[in-house]
Structure 1
């Protein structure tokens, strides 16, 4: 059986058609990351891994996270909840633009759970050269997010078909 993810867009709607295994793995991944967002300690995901520094220096960036980190995390958690509520894990998912925004936010932040350092500090060369284990998961999440973004930005009168 072949794994695949087809992303199509038409008239402002985005549809994902996934192979059964792809759907199962993606749903499990998103459910697992959502649980880690709610956890604390070693099992949780720190704000420093979720959100890039807002400033060049650590102290103002830490102060920014102190002021805004809880609200930013709440939005990420809410996006995970909306995506998982709208998609119980089947092989098809149809989204409007708001749903596509949520899915993109979820796919980007899900990468944080699989990297040892923040995603914006990871060199792309080794990430795309190795493609095993966690690196493969991150690369796949990046590719899927890129396809969803391309579909969401497509003209409403031009159908789009993208395949992973």
Structure 2
């Protein structure tokens, strides 16, 4: 069986067609990360892994996270809820641009659960920065997020077809 994810865009809508196995694995991955963000599941994800430092120095950055971390995490958790609420794990998913924004946010933050260090510090080609056995998951999340971003930014009069 071939795994695939086709992302198409036309007239402000994004459509993903996924192989059954791809859909199942992606849905399970997103559900697992959502549970970990909410504090259940096999381990939480710290704000320091989710959000980059706001300042060059640690103390001001920690103070920024203290002030804004809960609100930022709540937005990420809400995006996971909206995506998983709109998608039952089937092989097709159609989104408007707001839904595509949520999906991009979810795919980007989901990587945090599978990396040894924050995602903004990991070079794109360094899959050794992943936790044991998560190389493929991180590669898929990165590629799919890039495809959704490309499709969302497409002009309305030019259809886009991207294959993962």
Please give the alpha-carbon distance, in whole angstroms, between the structure 2 residues aligned to 1:32 and 1:63: 29
SS of match in other structure, 2:139: helix
- 1:82-93 equivalences under 5 Å are 82-93=82-93
Count of paired positions? 163
Contact 2:15 2:93 in 1 (8 A): yes
5 Å-filtered alignment, 1:10-159, equals 10-39=10-39, 43-127=43-127, 133-159=133-159
Most deviating of 115-124 and 140-149: 115-124
- From the two aligned structures, give the one with the greater helix fraction: 1
- In the TM superposition, what whole-angstrom CA distance separates every residue of 1:68-94 from its partner, at most 9, and x where no partner exists? 000000000000000000000000000
Task: State the shift of 1:127 in Å.
Answer: 1.6
Runs of 4+ in 1 over 2 A off after TM superposition: 123-126
**CA distance, structure 2, for counterparts of residue 7 and residue 42 of structure 1:** 31
Cα gap change, 1:93/1:68 in structure 2, threshold over 3 Å: closer, same or farther? Answer: same
Structure 1 gaps, min length 5 = none
Aligned counterparts of 2:151 and 2:101: Cα–Cα separation in 1: 11
Please tell me whether the aligned partners of residues 128 and 139 of structure 1 are also in contact (alpha carbons under 8 angstroms).
Answer: no
- Which structure 2 segments of 5+ residues have no match? none
Change (3 A) 1:40 1:55: farther
CA distances 1:88-140 after superposition (whole Å, capped 9, x unpaired): 0000000000000000000000000001111111233332899x821221111
TM-score norm. by structure 2 comes to 0.94
After TM superposition, the structure 1 stretch with the greater mean CA deviation from structure 2, 24-33 or 40-49, is 40-49
Q: Bigger CA drift: 39-48 or 148-157?
A: 39-48
SS state of the match for residue 94, structure 2? strand
Q: Tell me, in whole angstroms, the C-alpha distance in 2 between the residues paired with 1:10 and 1:128.
A: 36
